[in-house]
Amino acid sequence: PGKKVLIVYAHQEPKSFNGSLLKIAVEELTKQGCSVTVSDLYAMQFEPRATRNDIVGPLHNSEAFNYGVETWEAYKRGHLSKDLVEEQKKVQEADLLIFQFPLFWFNMPAILKGWVDRVLVQGFAYDLSKIYDGGLLQDKLSLFSFTTGGSKEKYAIRGDIRYLLWPMQHGIMHFCGVRVLEPHICYAPENVSEEKRKEMLAAWTQRLKTLWKEEPIDCSPEWYFK
């Protein structure tokens, strides 16, 4: 109770299955006494491109633009653009980050990847001497909740879906020190019966009820590639 949750949501249609998963998470977590904030990226028309517009005022080096260096310097000086400052504040306050999205090409949608690229800058989310278990966001939990186009069986033929989670869970969250909960995957909701979809939504509701009792996964290569 009293925990703060940020849901970063990347789907264009509120009536979608992802929209239903979002709605359930907001209702269930609010019911538990959590304070829930949603960054609805499409509705916000969030800018996914990392450009010099992310820096307010003069550049650190105007001769040759280096996004990583410039945003790091801007973060230290308090010169990042307003939209980034707002998102960073939401991340800073959150105990749990939930990412809700449909899997596109074995990956997160571009708008969500753009959020990661622009919001989790050096100095804020990590420092090169402070990464992984020592990362700057180590007091936080994260959970990737996503839908797929293909069935569980299809993914199993091609190798474990956990391989796809390595760049997201390990390369982004764990890198910044965030502990990672077991992902929540709804396979091919478009291709199953209405009844099966209801079961999937009920399973998500059920999981959220005991979410705070869960242990984070062991963030080792073995978890992904064993």
pLDDT digits (tens, 9 = 90+) for 171-201: 999 999 999 999 999 999 999 999 999 999 9
Task: For each of the domains in the chain, give its residue range(s) and CATH number, in order of start.
Answer: 4-225 (3.40.50.360)
Specify the pLDDT at position 3: 97
What band does 160 get if pLDDT is binned at 50, 70 and 90?
A: confident
- Residues with Cβ within 8 Å of residue 16, at least 6 apart in sequence: 102
Report the predicted TM-score, pTM, of the whole model to 2 decimal places.
0.97
Which is it for the CA torsion 16, 49, 92, 177, positive or negative? Answer: positive
Burial of 129 (0-12, 13-18, 19+ CB in 10 A): exposed
Strand partners for 100:
9, 145
Total residue count of the chain as it appears in this document: 226
Q: What is the tens place of the pLDDT at every residue in 114-138?
A: 999 999 999 999 998 999 999 999 9
Residue 211, both tokens: 């979410």
Q: Which amino acid is at 27?
A: E
Distances (CA, A) of 22 to 26, 41, 158, 204: 6, 13, 29, 10
